[in-house]
Amino acid sequence: MRVVIAGAGSVGRSIARELLHNGHQVLLVDKDADDVQSRRMPEASWLLADACEISALREAGLADCDTVVAATGDDKANLVVSLLAKTEFGVPRTVARVNNPRNEWLFDEAWGVDVAVSTPRLMTALVEEAVSVGDLVRIFQFQQGNATMVELTLPIESPYAGHRVGDLELPPECVLVAILREDKAIAPTRDDSIEGGDELLFVSTPETEDALEQMLSPGQRPTRGRE
């Protein structure tokens, strides 16, 4: 996979390292990148340019890339990069960093954003996950299709603890995608069981989150109103 990352700051470079480690091709675009930064990551390609300019994106070869990551520290720049990537170059997938949670509502398909990643929201979700058993925690939201990734640590007293995945009568538009148990990730089949203490990852929709939480953790106060 060929990935173009706009923004070669600490976030952009960290993403690039992971992608390179996984065997992907990476091009970092930054108007302020210097030789010191490029020497730190010589296996990546570098382009010294303003990613908000169409000419720079054309030089970066966006028409031939699979994914664009807008990872600058400026929300306006990330929106512009995402929009240009979609409308001018037809990039299949865009991922945009949200720096200010107040701007999160802007990061949708109207601005060419497929996935918006809000660091403050992720940190909040991780804190809530660490202290809450039975609470449904929204990890992030896919802008296309209005889908969300949510997590719930199954209480031991849940009526579904010890039951087969195939016995779960999940709400509509809700899919169990992974079971995390003792540092192991399980791709669930109908015959796998879910146990108290398992971390369950679902792809759902905002409209079904409360029903899912009440099903797996009856009596739990709905959390969606806090967002």
Using one digit for the tens of pLDDT, what is the confidence trace for 100-115?
888 988 999 999 999 8
- Token couple for 100: 């200010």
CATH class of 132-226: alpha beta
Q: Please tell me the predicted confidence (pLDDT) of residue 21.
A: 84
2-117 and 132-226, same CATH topology? no
118, 104 Cβ separation under 8 angstroms: yes
Q: Please tell me the predicted confidence (pLDDT) of residue 32.
A: 81
Choices 3.30.160.270, 3.40.50.720, 3.40.50.300, 3.40.190.10: CATH for 2-117: 3.40.50.720
Strands 25-30, 93-98: parallel, antiparallel or unpaired by DSSP? unpaired
Provide the 8-state DSSP code for 176: E
Q: Is the pLDDT of residue 26 over 50?
A: yes
Mean pLDDT of 62-77: 95
pTM, entire model: 0.61
Rounded Cα–Cα distance for residues 124 and 7 (Å): 24
**DSSP string of 67-116?**
EEEE--S-HHHHHHHHHHHHHTT--SEEEEEESSGGGGGG-SGGGT-SEE
Q: Is the pLDDT of residue 226 over 50?
A: no
Domains in the chain: boundaries: 2-117, 132-226
